[in-house]
Structure 1
Amino acid sequence: MSEKKPGLIRRIFRFIGSVVSAIRYMISLVVVLFFIAIIGGMFVDDIQPMPERGALYLAPSGTLVDQRSYIDPVSEIFAQPGQRDTETLVRDIVQALDHAQYDERITHVLLDTNYMAGGSIAKLEEISGALQRFKRSGKPIVAIGDNFSQSQYFLAAHADEIIMNPLGRVMLTGFGSYSNYYKEALDKLKINVHVFRVGKYKSAVEPFLGKGMSDEARADRRDLVDSLWQFYTSRVEQLRGLPNGALNDLANNIHLRLAEENGDIAALALQQGLIDRIATRSETKAHLLEILPQSNGEFDSVPMAAYLNHMKLGSLKAVNKGRPEIAVVVASGAILDGNQPEGTVGGDTLAEMFAAIEDEDQVKAVVLRVDSPGGSAFASDVIRDSIASLRKRNIPVVISMGSYAASGGYWIATESDKIVALSTTITGSIGVFGVIPTFEDSLSAMGVYSDGVGTTNIAGMLQLSRAMTPETKMIMQSGVEHVYSRFLNLVADARETTPSAIHEIAQGRVWTGKKALELGLVDALGDLNDAIASAAILAGVSDYKINYRRKPLSFMEQVMMEISGNVDAAVGAMGLQSWLPMSLQRQLASALKPLQFLDALNDPNHVYLYCESCPL
């Protein structure tokens, strides 16, 4: 008998099943190949052959930072392309330059600032020191750029020759510190912002109090920006051989000078001595071929990332087993409660790192790089307490101040054996505030009311839909004053003076590192390398290795970060990017800043040690 033919429905389902199976096998194959590529990439570094003689190609990308911000790998895959290149570690640049000055294979530094988005004046100062040390080797530095922003030009000014595109420009505008003030907008929205503070210079809360800057805040910021601008102009004038005051005169009169040059800003830069040569990209390449070592029609160079990898390979050959360690921990970003990703400072995160160091016999000293405007008072004290525990184990702790170590950043620094700051570090801001918004008037305007009963007068004290009671206001103000008193005592004990003496220079006022040294708030001026050297002296070690500590990542986090790095380029090529224009994203971020500010600093007691004027 012939076999009965399956029915139409059964044949349809069989066909669908075959298609699903085929798709499943294809997906499985793609996944296997994908992970093979990922695993292979984990064992392949950017190791390019070193030329026998060539230039170190230094092209900082994005913002100059002390610690790269952690980006959730899944989000990173679908973010803007090149997200991983939006930050460059300052210490990478410094290490490359310091090594290159003694490396006979390196004949020049080719400094390309086109990809650098910017950096604080303190970050620039630290790199400036490394560039000047390199120059003492007698090896030339050549700087190239299509345009030069203020921060880009500061680095380029160290070059023996600066080359700029004929359609480029050097824009030196000076430093400014401006804020938006939201009081009228908040009134129109019927949002009541309750402010509690100690310190007449503590300006972080002023945007919620009026339409403009107070006289105290204006004087404080004026002193700060003038001091930083003086550093910038004097350093550049010295490097370029310009007369004193030349840059200030140019910035104030550039509209007149530019008219004299018929609007040719590149010609103006050349005439003013800011650059040495105007050249198109092809002309620049031809000139570099004349002055740099070359082979096969190309000048010989090695990118900084590849050069650092060669340095790491060399260090692996050194005998490190048993050598004492100087641990370097970075506290970069706002100080927040709990565990936080890199790019912010988690109170529990740093406390756990210090607790782990306590149990490591090979660690003889710790350098804490503080690059923070502060944040949560509670988290700041958690970190300070963990440092105290470390010091009780006779492990010296040296603070290295970065761009800013103010307010909560300075609170942390009080628990140390020595404080080393850059001359342009922003520090101080010894003051305290609390901010709590309530929305009872906003809600009532929409017909929403809060009512009920409580067992005490303060039962609903932090319910944002209710008006703040007088008792609550007294509690908050008392708490702020108590934290300020504790702050004064911590600083006084650390600096071996009295709380009243500290109060005279505190009250929320900010200082540069140079002024802080004069006031006795820091012990010495220097960079991270100077702080490490000081820690070694305090620990009594001369032959040591440096161990840069990071927040431990789980295995899956490491795998996902590797995946995101390899997939990023492919996703960008497919056009799967954020649909929202960057300009609109920035405008939205600015509009939401006041509410984001209140939400981000997550102190459990709503008491903050934060320097609003620090991130200039």
Structure 2
Amino acid sequence: MKQFFKFVLATIVGLIITSVILFFVLIGIIVSAATSKPASVASNSILTITIDHPISERTPKNPFAGINFWGFNNKSIGLDDILENIKRAKTDNNIRGIFLNQSYMLSGQATTEEIRKALIDFKKSGKFVVAYGEIYTQSFYYLASVADKVYLNPKGIFDFGGFDSQITFLKGTLDKLGVEAQIIKVGTYKSAVEPFVLTKMSDANREQVTSYLGSLYDYFINNISISRNIPTDTLRDVANNLRVQYPEDALKYRLVDGLKYKDEVLDLLKDRIGVQHKKDLSSVDIEDYTKGDDDRADKTSGLQNIAVIYASGDIGGGDGDDNAIGSEKLSAALRKVRMDDKVKAVVLRVNSPGGSSLASAVIWREVVLTKKVKPVIVSMGDYAASGGYYISCAADSIIAEPNTITGSIGIFAILPNMQKLFNDKLGVTFDGVKTGKFSDLGNISRPLTPEERTILQTQVNRGYDEFTQAVAEGRHKTQVYVNSIGQGRVWTGTQALKIGLVDRLGNINDAIESAAKKANLKDYKLVSYPEQKGIFSKLGSSMSEDVKANMIKKELGENYSYYEQIKSLQSMMRTPQARLAYQVNIK
């Protein structure tokens, strides 16, 4: 017994010492993050852009950003700061050019498009852009194709074989588990439910995917053709016949300008800015090149405001976070800017595949009310589909990128019947008492009755009717017409412009300029909403969630998207959904 207490005491002492050490380490991290300043930029420098992580709409206020500790390593930057930093570098006399270092571009096509356009604008200054990669994914090559020079490692990999969109079907797994997905939906093309009831794509879904994937690919090929001065027919032939299998092939077909090792590219960069090869290249990472104007607040004080409200991620109730839209928090942000006399116009930045139809309708209502008192312009990112389109449709004007995924106007609900799993697989049975005929409507331990299914179908039909009516009113169309282009069908931004779902093609800066023009503002200040949590308010949740997310991402790699899909099933089972079926991943 004495030995037992000795071990217990030693363990307790060890835990106390470890906790004290970790406490001081944590304090050091917080102080370091709170007191960190933007990197100073030496003259004759190069701005280095390496994008090897998914790009969020806004740079998160993360106290552990840039610190490789306990699985964090979160030196990430949002699209807002990427665009702002490229714009700033254009007129910064200390920046001579941009180096696009090997990147994977894990975000959507519209995000890549925004950065690509910023680089094209940067080149108007006469400064250079040079790209290098050991591996060129098609998304990274699309970005890099605007560079003055594109270099590939002599032993590298160059992927240029065309686009594909793949859906994971779970029906076989559900059958083995004894789970039936009971589907209630509206919309021939509303294919979000297909993975649970089919083993392959329906004809309608194959039709729409073929259509929008073709639209995305046309835009991709046409822009590379312009940047690289290669005929589109040649590019299609190269891709269709996989003529680029080795680095020499990419050079042969003029997709790259040279096969160089990293050290050779760095020497070429030194030559461009007049630095001797034996000296170090002066460069600054785009994550560090930020918030350099200390007196910016003074310059913009007293100006009228344009509010940029970010709506990013799945739509649900509650507060949400930087990667999920909470109807409560977003609605509060809309009410706040609506009642703020200094805010003269609103840009609603939507990057969402949708989610809860109820939460979408709640946000839509706030957009309608805000539009009555000040201009509301929507800027669409990678996705503004289903519920993402619902919250957009009431705006004065909608601006999308050509490769934005939008539309998908439809509603569905999924209710699992797990009777076979409980009874046959697990040997679990249920019994009980109810006071009304429908008291246990939605019980997952048994199948729906025909009468219950009729009730739920009526509710979903009503939700679709309200959705199409909202779109018809916002877009000044008839509900019959909206239904004809609705039915859950997915469109690209280019296609959506032709059928009247969006007003013009452009990026977030175009939306801001449009908002300023509509509000008759020449000088203005941008303010962002919803307010991001600060260091101390985020500390507890940020620590656990970031560690967990980073560990899962590291373990699953490219398969992380499948994990997210399965995780989203929990919310799909609760309420009617206005949601896109899948993500479009371009290699």
Q: Which residue of 2 aligns with 1:420?
A: 399
Question: Does 1:182 pair with 2:170?
Answer: yes
Q: Which residue of 1 aligns with 2:92?
A: 103
Report 1:1-40 matches (<5 A).
31=23, 35=27, 38-40=30-32
Structure 1 residues 450 and 24: alpha-carbon distance in aligned structure 2, compared to 1, 3 A threshold: closer
> By how many angstroms is 1:514 displaced?
1.4
* Matching residue within 420, 424, 435 for 1:455: 435
Structure 2: 5+ residue stretches without partners: none
> By how many angstroms is 1:121 displaced?
1.4
SS at match of 2:578: strand
CA contact (8 A) 1:342 1:551 kept: no
Q: Which residue of 1 aligns with 2:266?
A: 285
Report 1:80-159 matches (<5 A).
80-82=71-73, 84-85=74-75, 87-112=76-101, 114-159=102-147
CA contact (8 A) 2:44 2:273 kept: no
CA contact (8 A) 1:107 1:140 kept: yes
> By how many angstroms is 1:111 displaced?
1.4
Structure 1 residues 62 and 554: alpha-carbon distance in aligned structure 2, compared to 1, 3 A threshold: closer
Report 1:446-595 matches (<5 A).
446-553=426-533, 556-559=536-539, 578=551, 582=554, 590=562
1 CA distance for matches of 2:580 and 2:9?
A: 63
Structure 1 residues 562 and 177: alpha-carbon distance in aligned structure 2, compared to 1, 3 A threshold: closer
Question: Does 1:302 pair with 2:273?
Answer: no
CA contact (8 A) 1:73 1:561 kept: no
Structure showing greater radius of gyration is: 1
CA contact (8 A) 1:293 1:300 kept: no
* 1:470-497 Cα deviation digits (max 9, x unpaired): 2211111001100111111111111112
> By how many angstroms is 1:608 displaced?
0.6
Question: Does 1:598 pair with 2:564?
Answer: no
Identity %: 31
CA contact (8 A) 1:407 1:430 kept: yes
> By how many angstroms is 1:132 displaced?
1.2
Structure 1 residues 379 and 160: alpha-carbon distance in aligned structure 2, compared to 1, 3 A threshold: same
Q: Which amino acid aligns with 1:532?
A: I
Q: Which residue of 1 aligns with 2:215?
A: 227
CA contact (8 A) 1:415 1:494 kept: yes
Q: Which amino acid aligns with 2:241?
A: N
CA contact (8 A) 1:457 1:471 kept: no
SS at match of 1:390: helix
Q: Which residue of 1 aligns with 2:53?
A: 62
Structure 1 residues 53 and 251: alpha-carbon distance in aligned structure 2, compared to 1, 3 A threshold: same
* Matching residue within 317, 336, 344 for 1:356: 336
Q: Which amino acid aligns with 1:108?
A: G
* Matching residue within 214, 226, 233 for 1:245: 233
2 CA distance for matches of 1:168 and 1:282?
A: 14
Structure 1 residues 486 and 31: alpha-carbon distance in aligned structure 2, compared to 1, 3 A threshold: closer
2 CA distance for matches of 1:239 and 1:198?
A: 43
Question: Does 1:409 pair with 2:398?
Answer: no
Aligned length: 577
> By how many angstroms is 1:344 displaced?
0.8
Q: Which amino acid aligns with 1:306?
A: D
1 CA distance for matches of 2:325 and 2:119?
A: 30
* 1:373-412 Cα deviation digits (max 9, x unpaired): 10000110111112223234x1221110111101000100
Structure 1 residues 472 and 146: alpha-carbon distance in aligned structure 2, compared to 1, 3 A threshold: same
SS at match of 1:110: strand
* Matching residue within 325, 334, 339 for 1:345: 325
TM-score where L is the length of structure 2: 0.90
Structure 1 residues 522 and 203: alpha-carbon distance in aligned structure 2, compared to 1, 3 A threshold: same
Structure 1 residues 20 and 139: alpha-carbon distance in aligned structure 2, compared to 1, 3 A threshold: closer
Q: Which amino acid aligns with 1:45?
A: K
Q: Which amino acid aligns with 1:449?
A: T
1 CA distance for matches of 2:111 and 2:22?
A: 44
* Matching residue within 267, 270, 280 for 2:251: 270
SS at match of 2:381: strand
Q: Is 436-445 or 184-193 further displaced after alignment?
A: 184-193
Structure 1 residues 148 and 158: alpha-carbon distance in aligned structure 2, compared to 1, 3 A threshold: same
Structure 1 residues 532 and 35: alpha-carbon distance in aligned structure 2, compared to 1, 3 A threshold: same
Q: Which amino acid aligns with 1:281?
A: K
Structure 1 residues 17 and 424: alpha-carbon distance in aligned structure 2, compared to 1, 3 A threshold: closer
Q: Is 377-386 or 550-559 further displaced after alignment?
A: 550-559
CA contact (8 A) 1:42 1:562 kept: no
> By how many angstroms is 1:183 displaced?
2.3
CA contact (8 A) 1:56 1:304 kept: yes
TM-score where L is the length of structure 1: 0.86
> By how many angstroms is 1:140 displaced?
1.6
Q: Which residue of 2 aligns with 1:215?
A: 203
1 CA distance for matches of 2:69 and 2:23?
A: 19
1 CA distance for matches of 2:22 and 2:186?
A: 61
CA contact (8 A) 1:330 1:369 kept: yes
* Matching residue within 398, 417, 423 for 1:444: 423
Structure 1 residues 138 and 37: alpha-carbon distance in aligned structure 2, compared to 1, 3 A threshold: closer
CA contact (8 A) 1:169 1:269 kept: no
* 1:228-250 Cα deviation digits (max 9, x unpaired): 01111111121111122222211
Structure 1: 5+ residue stretches without partners: 1-8, 259-264, 572-576
CA contact (8 A) 1:435 1:598 kept: no
2 CA distance for matches of 1:26 and 1:98?
A: 46
> By how many angstroms is 1:415 displaced?
2.0
Q: Which amino acid aligns with 1:266?
A: P
SS at match of 1:290: helix
> By how many angstroms is 1:22 displaced?
12
CA contact (8 A) 2:208 2:490 kept: yes
2 CA distance for matches of 1:485 and 1:28?
A: 60
CA contact (8 A) 1:372 1:404 kept: yes
Q: Is 335-344 or 100-109 further displaced after alignment?
A: 100-109
Structure 1 residues 72 and 470: alpha-carbon distance in aligned structure 2, compared to 1, 3 A threshold: farther
- For the aligned residues, what is the CA RMSD? 3.3
CA contact (8 A) 2:59 2:81 kept: no
Q: Which residue of 1 aligns with 2:581?
A: 612
> By how many angstroms is 1:289 displaced?
1.9
2 CA distance for matches of 1:334 and 1:210?
A: 24
Structure 1 residues 181 and 33: alpha-carbon distance in aligned structure 2, compared to 1, 3 A threshold: closer
1 CA distance for matches of 2:206 and 2:48?
A: 42
* 1:86-132 Cα deviation digits (max 9, x unpaired): x54223222222222233332211111x2444221111211121111
